[in-house]
Amino acid sequence: MAAFLELKDICKNLPIGREPVQVLKNISFEVAAGELVCIIGKSGCGKTTLLKTIAGLEKQTSGQILLSGQALNGPGRDRGMIFQEPRLFPWLTLEDNIAFGLKGHVSKAARHKTVTGLLEIVGLKDYAKAWPGQLSGGMAQRAAIARALAVDPKILLLDEPFAALDALTRSKLQKDFLDLWQNTLKTCIHVTHDLDEALTLGQRIIILHSNPGRIVDIISLPLPYPRSPEDPELKSVKKRLLSLFVD
C-alpha cells in the first residue's frame, strides 16, 4: 500500500485552563489513495483535533503530515472538511452553496456543469434553487458533502457527519455515502464515535484512546459492501472493538 497521506508522530498540545495539555500523542498512520478509513474514539479523545490538524485548521505541536510526499502546512483546496452540522451559507441557494468554492477558479459554464452533476449524485437535483432553511437535516448534510466535493479535493475529512441525524436517515446516508465513495474512490477519513458506523463503512478502523489522544489499534476490514451486521467476521471485529472500549 503506497502512502498517499502520511502522519508521522503528530503531537498536539492545547491550552486547557492555564496549562498546555497534550491532546494528541505520537499519532502515526498512513492512508492509501482511494481508501476509506474510519477513526473512532470516545468523546474528548481528540478526533476533531486530529481531523482539523490534517485539514490544516490546527497546527501540530510536533510531527509531520505529508500528502503525496509533500509536507502540509496550513489549509488547502486539496482537503475538504465536512462537519457534524452542514454549515451551509443560509443566504445562498443550494446551487450557489455548492458552487461557492469554484467561483474565480472555473468558468460559469463549468461551475454549472459541476454543480448539476453533484446535485444529481447526492440526490438533490430538484433542490438547486432551494434555500438551506428549506432542507431537512439529511438533505443539508448531503448538500455539505456536495459542496466539499465541488472543488475536487484529494481527500475528504468527515467529522461525525451523520451524528446529528435520526437513526433511519443516518443509515440511509451511510449507504448513499458508500455509493458515492465507490463511484468516486475519493480518499476519505471518516470520524465517528459510532462503532456500527465504522463497521459499516471502514476499510480500516483506527481506534483512539484519550488522555492523551493516541492510537491503540488499527483494524483492517477487508469485507465487501454492503456489509451485514450478521456477518460472523463483522461480529467478531465488533467484539474486539467493544473490548477496546471497556474502561
Ligand X SMILES: Nc1ncnc2c1ncn2[C@@H]1O[C@H](COP(=O)(O)OP(=O)(O)OP(=O)(O)O)[C@@H](O)[C@H]1O
Q: Which is nearer to ligand X, 61 or 93 (CB)?
A: 61
Pick 27 or 139: Cβ nearer ligand X: 27
Q: How far apart are alpha carbons 20 and 117 in whole angstroms? A: 46
Cβ-count burial 60-87 (b if 16+ within 10 Å, e if not): beebebebeeeebeeeeeebbbbbbebe
Name the strand (E) or helix (H) holding 205: strand 204-209
Task: Give me the least distance between CB of 192 and ligand X, in Å please.
Answer: 9
Q: In the complex, what is the shortest distance from the CB of residue 55 to ligand X, in angstroms, rounded to a whole number?
A: 12
Q: Per rule CB under 6 A, is residue 193 in the interface with ligand X?
A: yes
3-class DSSP assignment, residue 232:
helix
Q: Do 240 and 40 contact (CB within 8 A), yes or no?
A: no
Q: Which of 7, 10, 48, 118 binds ligand X (CB under 6 A)?
A: 48
46 binds ligand X (CB under 6 A): yes
Helices in the chain by DSSP H: which ranges? 47-55, 94-99, 108-121, 137-150, 167-184, 195-201, 232-244
Binding to ligand X by residue 49, rule CB under 6 A? Answer: yes
Which of positions 118-157 make contact with ligand X (CB under 6 A)?
none
Contact mark string toward ligand X, 153..192, x via CB under 6 A: ----------------------------------------
Judged by CB under 6 A, the residue of 5, 10, 23, 188 near ligand X is 23
Among the residue ranges 36-44, 70-78, 114-122, 173-181, the one whose residues contact ligand X (CB under 6 A): 36-44
Edge-to-edge strand list for the sheet holding 5-16: 19-31, 5-16, 62-67, 70-71
Number of residues that bind ligand X (CB under 6 A): 13
Q: How far apart are CA 115 and CA 212, in angstroms?
A: 41
Of 1, 18, 19, 43, which lies in the binding site for ligand X, with binding defined by CB under 6 A? Answer: 43
What single-letter DSSP state applies at residue 72? P
Q: Which is nearer to ligand X, 52 or 111 (CB)?
A: 52
- Residue 48 or 174 with smaller CB distance to ligand X: 48
Supply the DSSP symbol for 202. -
